Amino acid sequence: MKQNEIEKCAVCSKGVAHSNTISFYRFKIDYMVLNLPAIQRQSGLEMFFGGSGQPGAATLAHVMGGHEDMAKEMSSARGLICMDCAVKTEIAHVMEIISEKEKCSEIPHE
């Protein structure tokens, strides 16, 4: 990682080594949601081929299915997080903080 790629912590907005630790995390988080209609269609195809009682039913359904996405990305985030914040902050909260910062940066400042 080059010097120009190092940025402030996505959570506390301090430098990633502010607490005198030499390690930090670089992350990419994708917030996903299951595609229930696609899962139901795939499950129905598996049942058509014999369900869990029939060896190979899931494999056959996979081959014969529509190869739809079983989950869809709702949002994603990338950044750096200092070790202090990484230890103390839950992933969902990191996404919330980043989302709020992005909203604030989109608002024109006078």
pLDDT in tens, the chain (110 residues): 999 999 999 999 999 999 999 999 999 999 999 999 999 999 999 999 988 778 888 889 989 988 999 999 998 989 999 999 999 999 999 988 888 887 777 666 55
Domain coordinates of the chain in residue numbers? 1-32+74-110, 36-69
Query: In 4-70, where does DSSP find H-type helix?
Result: 36-48, 57-64
pLDDT of residue 40: 95
pLDDT of residue 110: 57
Smallest CA-to-CA distance from 15 within 88, 105, 81, 86 is with 81
Which residues on adjacent β-strands are paired with residue 31? 75
Residue 94 CB: number of other CB atoms within 10 A? Answer: 20
Residue in the structure block whose two tokens are 């009682």: 53
pLDDT of residue 55: 85
pLDDT of residue 79: 93
pLDDT of residue 109: 54
Paired tokens of 35: 């595609």
Question: pTM for the complete prediction?
Answer: 0.69
pLDDT of residue 80: 96
